[in-house]
């Protein structure tokens, strides 16, 4: 989903939002500074942390503004009032709601993208920029340290005689980075996302293996597979004895 959205935004910025135009009005000097993306919602899915780290906004005291989304940049002018900020780029006005060290655009580029897209930026270096403030409730249950408690093969049979379950561990962070280890060795440091019961891992895995997760009814299973092996590890949070098996 992130790749599709990034591609759409890149096309729009590179084709349309390239000209800087003037904009008159007052500006609150306290808003000036660099902002980083902390939350993006579209297609009913919310991305936070590392997934929106390529989104930045910079407001300069002289009224100039720049927006960077992944690899594309657009420049314009900004003005503000007590509750909103308006950025004008190529005769298009983008209006955002001002919060406590945050700016939220509820209908960002809707005319161009044809989809509902909301992006929240937080001022760099403030408490508002903490990714834990924005992680969706359904993702919070997945953050933390996990350890394997059982393992099954491709046929669903117990494979604990071949693989020790608790050798497989996973740490999922609030910024959607992760560390996957086996026998105290890191095998992957992917990013992760959660969408309709699926936990998706994006990043290289040692020995060219694949990782896929499923979280439903409080049960978290990570599938590890390569050309020769296939294992489903049922995970339990470290120190937690309530996970269902």
Residues 111 and 175 placed together within one structural domain of the fold: no
Strands 84-89 and 72-80: antiparallel
* Shared domain check, 83 and 35: yes
Q: Are residues 217 and 142 in the same domain?
A: yes
Question: Is 179:171 a contact under the CB 8 Å cutoff?
Answer: yes
Q: Nearest-CA neighbor of 183 among 203, 195, 169, 171?
A: 169
Q: Give domain status of residue 66, yes or no.
A: yes
Once rounded to an integer, what is the mean pLDDT over residues 144-149?
97
> Could you say which of 78, 99, 133 is where a domain stops?
133
- In a domain? residue 221: yes
175 and 54 co-located in one domain: no
What's 134-176 look like in SS3? CCCHHHHCCCEEEEEEEEECCCCCECCCCCCHHHEEEEECCCC
Taking residues 8-25, what's their average pLDDT? 50
Q: Could you tell me if 159 and 228 lie in one domain? A: yes
Q: What pLDDT is stored for residue 20 in this prediction? A: 43
Least confident stretch, 45-49, 108-112, 153-157, 161-165:
108-112
Please report which confidence band the pLDDT of residue 114 belongs to, taking 50, 70 and 90 as the band edges.
Answer: low
Please tell me whether residues 20 and 123 are part of one structural domain. Answer: yes
More confident residue, 189 or 136: 189
Confidence band, pLDDT 50/70/90 cuts, at residue 243? very low
Q: Where are the beta strands (DSSP E) in 11-54?
A: 33-42, 45-48
Whether 142 and 193 share a structural domain? yes
Domain containing 49 — which CATH number?
2.40.128.280
Of the three residues 116, 133, 150, the one that is the final residue of a domain is 133
| Model confidence band, residue 110 (pLDDT cutoffs 50, 70, 90) | low
97 shares a domain with 124: yes
In a domain, 242, yes or no: no
CA distances to 41, 48, 133 from 242, rounded to whole Å, are 32, 28, 26
Q: Region 44-63: what's the mean pLDDT?
A: 84
Q: What tokens does 179 get? A: 């560390």
Q: Say if 239 falls within a structural domain.
A: no
Does the predicted TM-score (pTM) go above 0.85?
no
Do the domain assignments include residue 245?
Answer: no
**Residue 75 domain boundaries:** 2-133
Domain co-membership, 158 together with 79? no
How many domains does the chain divide into? 2
Give the pLDDT score at 96. 93
Task: Indicate the pLDDT class of residue 191, thresholds 50, 70 and 90.
Answer: very high
Q: How far apart are CA 52 and CA 67, in angstroms?
A: 13
Res 18: pLDDT? 43
Statement to judge: residues 127 and 145 lie in one domain: no
Q: Which CATH number do you get for residue 142?
A: 2.40.128.270
Asked, for residue 241, whether it belongs to a domain, the answer is: no
3-state secondary structure of 230: strand
Look at residue 244 and tell me if it is in a domain. Answer: no
pLDDT band at 211 (very low <50, low <70, confident <90, very high): very high
Q: Same domain for 66 and 150?
A: no
Q: Distance between CA 6 and CA 186 in Å, rounded?
A: 29
Q: Is residue 50 part of a domain?
A: yes
Kindly state whether residues 99 and 185 are assigned to the same domain.
Answer: no
Last-in-domain residue among 114, 133, 152: 133
């Amino acid at each position: 989903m992130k790749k599709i959205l990034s591609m759409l935004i890149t096309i729009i910025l590179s084709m349309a939002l390239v000209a800087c135009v003037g904009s008159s009005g007052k500006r609150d000097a306290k808003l000036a500074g660099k902002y980083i993306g902390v939350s993006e919602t579209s297609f009913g899915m919310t991305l936070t942390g590392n997934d929106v780290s390529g989104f930045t906004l910079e407001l300069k005291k002289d009224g100039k503004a720049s927006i960077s989304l992944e690899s594309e940049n657009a420049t314009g002018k900004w003005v503000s009032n007590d509750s909103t900020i308006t950025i004008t780029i190529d005769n298009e006005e983008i209006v955002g709601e001002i919060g406590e060290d945050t700016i939220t655009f509820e209908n960002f580029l809707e005319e161009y993208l044809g989809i509902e897209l909301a992006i929240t930026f937080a001022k760099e270096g403030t408490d508002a920029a903490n990714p834990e403030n924005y992680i969706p409730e359904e993702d919070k249950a997945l953050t933390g340290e996990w350890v394997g408690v059982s393992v099954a093969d491709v046929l669903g049979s117990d494979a604990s005689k071949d693989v020790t379950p608790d050798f497989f561990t996973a740490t999922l962070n609030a910024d959607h980075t992760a560390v996957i280890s086996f026998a105290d060795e890191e095998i992957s440091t992917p990013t992760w996302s959660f969408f309709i019961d699926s936990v998706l891992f994006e990043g290289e895995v040692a020995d060219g293996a694949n990782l896929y997760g499923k979280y439903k009814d409080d049960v978290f299973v990570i599938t590890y597979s390569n050309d020769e092996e296939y294992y489903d590890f049922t995970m339990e949070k470290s120190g937690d004895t309530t996970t269902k098996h």
